[in-house]
């Protein structure tokens, strides 16, 4: 969710003679940036091929601006079906803007099958960091299987994200299959058309999510959150507020209560903003690590800020609980019925799986969609 691109540095004028060779080397790399994929020996996926030909690296002052446009083909070398894969993409481990990630949910890859992943990332790398290794390195962060087991270092919290996406996929497929069975193809077609329309209309005005406050010029004031009730949610937000200027909100805090009989260790709250035109949009999802016993109330404080274009004026804010993880590793997500609430449905994009299924319908028609649903 955090802006990792950074701003390109301006080219330095008047290079010293000793820097000419470096500049020439930079020009070469600008044409053909080199890279590699690093997979562990016991990796459940094996590389078949990788194409870097669409990538470019351009010198910008003391750094390279690396546009990675690559395609990697992988083979499922495990005995399980793969549901999701996350790759970490690095131009530099420490430099801000040096890391990116590609998370692909809604896969259905059987043992021995080959599948492809696109990598489209823009990264920064210091000029002096290109010697002795590849300019870009791709690492496997995680693989989620159909039994919800996981492989990988999980440095990017990919297990949590992909597990939630897979649970949403199963929920949405059950709903669509039940709709088809009870009401027929016409009802399924109507659901897909409505989903495509929501995807086309669901946009936000270029919000940036960063750590801490981006500016400190305007006077600030506190705005309270209103919370949407999600049926059967195991955690209830009791109150919340954030500091706000005209087009920036930061330091959100929430008081939450565990309504379940199990300890909660993680949750996400979706942050909804209304602007001066009355338009509401989902601005961010706020993650929170916590240790909340059954019946206990706690406070969540975030060092996050939303920065909107100057034309946006924040008028009010809402929130709702979008996912919860318990201490035993299990998860809660809202039901399909809860997500059908107009206050939520019109703001939240369909799940990655619903988007995939709607594209099958758009490109191939209702019969192809029905056949796809029958696979699960």
Cα-only R_g, the chain: 23
Q: Given this model, what pLDDT does residue 3 score?
A: 35
Which residue in this structure is represented by tokens 């690396």? 66
CATH number listed for the domain at residues 17-155: 2.60.40
| Nearest of 279, 218, 278 to residue 249 by alpha carbon | 218
Distance CA 297, CA 255 (A): 7
Q: Given this model, what pLDDT does residue 28 score?
A: 45
Condensed to tens digits (0 to 9), the pLDDT of residues 89-103 reads 998 887 778 899 999
Pick out the chain residues at pLDDT < 70. Answer: 1-32, 129-132, 203-204, 212-218
Helix (H, G, I), strand (E, B) or coil at 341: coil
CB contact at 8 A, 139 and 148 = no
Q: Given this model, what pLDDT does residue 131 score?
A: 61
- Alpha-helical (H) ranges within the chain are 20-31, 158-183, 185-201, 336-339, 342-345, 352-364, 366-374
Q: Given this model, what pLDDT does residue 233 score?
A: 96
Q: Given this model, what pLDDT does residue 132 score?
A: 62
The reply to whether 17-155 and 208-345 are identical in fold is yes
What is the CATH topology of the domain spanning 208-345? Immunoglobulin-like (2.60.40)
Q: Given this model, what pLDDT does residue 359 score?
A: 97
Which residue in this structure is represented by tokens 């609980």? 321
The domain spans of the chain are 17-155, 161-202+352-374, 208-345
**Terminal CA-CA length for the chain:** 31
Distance CA 341, CA 344 (A): 5
Q: Given this model, what pLDDT does residue 22 score?
A: 42
Distance CA 277, CA 315 (A): 9
CB contact at 8 A, 138 and 37 = yes
Residue 297 token pair: 């109330």
Helix (H, G, I), strand (E, B) or coil at 284: strand
pTM: 0.85
């Amino acid at each position: 969710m955090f802006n990792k691109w950074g701003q390109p540095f301006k080219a330095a004028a008047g290079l010293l003679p000793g820097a000419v060779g470096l500049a020439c080397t930079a020009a070469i790399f600008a044409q053909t940036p080199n890279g590699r994929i690093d997979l562990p020996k016991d990796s459940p996926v094996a590389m078949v091929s990788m194409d870097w030909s669409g990538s470019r690296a351009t010198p910008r002052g003391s750094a390279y601006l690396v546009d990675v446009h690559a395609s990697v083909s992988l083979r499922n070398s495990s005995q399980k079906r793969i549901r999701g894969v996350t790759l970490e993409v690095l131009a530099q481990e420490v430099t801000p803007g040096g890391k990116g990630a590609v998370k692909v949910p809604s896969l259905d890859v059987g043992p021995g099958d080959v599948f492809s992943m696109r990598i489209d990332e823009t990264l920064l790398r210091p000029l002096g960091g290109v010697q002795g290794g590849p300019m870009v390195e791709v690492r496997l962060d995680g693989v989620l299987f159909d039994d919800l087991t996981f492989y990988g270092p999980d440095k990017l919290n990919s297990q949590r994200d992909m597990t939630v996406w897979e649970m949403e996929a199963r929920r949405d497929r059950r709903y669509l299959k039940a709709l088809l069975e009870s009401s027929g193809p016409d009802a399924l077609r109507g659901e897909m058309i409505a989903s495509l329309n929501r995807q086309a209309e669901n946009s936000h005005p270029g919000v940036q999510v960063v750590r801490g406050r981006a500016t400190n010029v305007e006077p600030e004031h506190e705005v309270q959150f209103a919370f949407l009730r999600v049926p059967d949610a195991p955690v209830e937000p009791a109150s919340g507020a954030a500091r706000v200027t005209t087009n920036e909100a930061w330091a959100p805090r929430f008081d939450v209560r565990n309504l379940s009989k199990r300890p909660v260790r993680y949750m996400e709250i979706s942050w909804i903003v209304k602007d001066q035109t009355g338009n509401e949009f989902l601005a961010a999802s706020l993650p929170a690590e916590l240790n909340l016993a059954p019946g206990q109330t706690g406070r969540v404080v975030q060092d996050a800020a939303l920065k909107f274009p100057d034309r946006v004026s924040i008028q009010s804010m809402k929130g709702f609980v979008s996912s919860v993880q318990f201490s035993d590793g299990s998860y809660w997500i809202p039901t399909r019925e809860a997500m059908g609430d107009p206050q939520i449905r019109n703001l939240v994009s369909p799940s990655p799986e619903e988007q995939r299924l709607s594209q099958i319908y758009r490109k191939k028609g209702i019969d192809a969609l029905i056949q796809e649903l029958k696979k699960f």
